[in-house]
Amino acid sequence: MYRILKQEGRAKRAELVTVHGTIQTPVFMNVGTAAAIKGAVATSDLEQIGTQVELSNTYHLHVRPGDKVVKQLGGLHKFMSWDRPILTDSGGFQVFSLAGLRKIREEGGYFNSHVDGRKIFMGPEESMRIQSNLASTIAMAFDECAPSKADRGYVQASVDRTARWLERCKREMARLNGLEDTINRRQLLFGINQGAVYPDIRIDHAKRISEMELDGYAVGGLAVGESHEEMYHILDVTVPHLPEEKPVYLMGVGTPANILEAVDRGVDFFDCVYPSRNGRHGHVYTNHGKLNLFNQKYELDARPIEEGCGCPACRSYSRAYIRHLLKAKEMLGMRLCTLHNLYFYNTMMKEIRDAIEEHRYAEYKAAKLAGMESSAKSNE
């Protein structure tokens, strides 16, 4: 199912075989929270820009249109016309992000819908049932994402509860995958490591969940307030205690530099809203740093966003034209910027895979970081 093809230090070039196709890692999953990439990007676009995995959110799809509706329509793949792998987040992060509206108990989390205010309960079994209805390729275990600066006592209690929830998730998924009316009876389950910025709690939790023989493991609860240095340190001490023969997913991370550093620490899977969110605001990634296309200096710039880029925006349009679209609030402007950014990320992941295969990742990483950092200030 998961096979490491090449290694350079702790960087892994691997593949994960799923019911919806084989995922080549390291991979960046394109985030479509409500079954669509924000920025008017269709699944047919994703096929053209090299997307391997789409990520959708359990909580948002449970609230609207409803996971039972999606199941009646044949599952998420049919619903959104996408035949490649889909990973669904468990809804646990929403319990964390809706902090003012939630109560966490042993049975699960109670919180109010951000859409209509109705009271919602979600626990391990509910999350598994919703994700089974969605029929995603990979389901994430239900967890609590404790604030990175929470006190030690709270974090330890939260992690212990998350470990108990994981056992319940595993049991419920096994039951669901055995039912005849389940759409995807080969759904995979990834567990999530938590522990905020406490290395010993992280390590202990990693050891505990590693014994559960899951399909993959995620490191969650990072990029929520801690420094980059703290995040890298947590990866340094935690990832070695997760099974090497299973994929490792760093949730919600991050910038191109974050990804390059995390690959060096043994991470396979990534997701982040940065490419689409920044694109919608006219901020685009290049190998020479990030550009703000609202900047006056691009008014007469006839060059593409990046010379040699093969994305739909760069193949046909100039910086000046895209700037005009953004200034005029034309939807095409944010669409083109979003497509460019996702293409940049997807292409970077292919470059990373090639570099590890050819045993030159250290040089690639150094050159990529130097290129992006050297011109970053002048581009803003």
DSSP H/E element including 231: helix 228-238
- Mean pLDDT for the stretch of residues 32-46: 97
Q: What is the pLDDT of residue 331?
A: 98
CA distance 81 to 44: 8
What pTM did the predictor assign? Answer: 0.97
The verdict on whether omega for the bond into residue 26 sits within 30 degrees of 0, i.e. cis, is yes
Question: Over 70: is that where the pLDDT of 126 sits?
Answer: yes
**pLDDT digit string, tens, across residues 238-261:** 999 999 999 999 999 999 999 999
Between residues 107 and 379, which one has the greater pLDDT?
107
Point out the residues that are catalytic. Answer: 89, 271
- Mean pLDDT for the stretch of residues 370-380: 71
Domain spans of the chain, in order of start:
2-272, 279-379
Instruction: Check if the beta carbon of residue 95 is closer than 8 Å to that of residue 26.
Output: no
CA distance 327 to 275: 19
User: How far is the CA of 10 from the CAs of 113, 347, 367, in angstroms?
Assistant: 41, 21, 19
Q: What is the pLDDT of residue 146?
A: 87
Report residue 375's pLDDT band, with 50, 70 and 90 as the boundaries. Answer: low
* Topology adopted by domain 2-272: TIM Barrel (3.20.20)
Report residue 346's pLDDT band, with 50, 70 and 90 as the boundaries. Answer: very high
Between residues 62 and 378, which one has the greater pLDDT?
62
Q: Which residues contact 211 (CB under 8 A, 6 or more apart)?
A: none
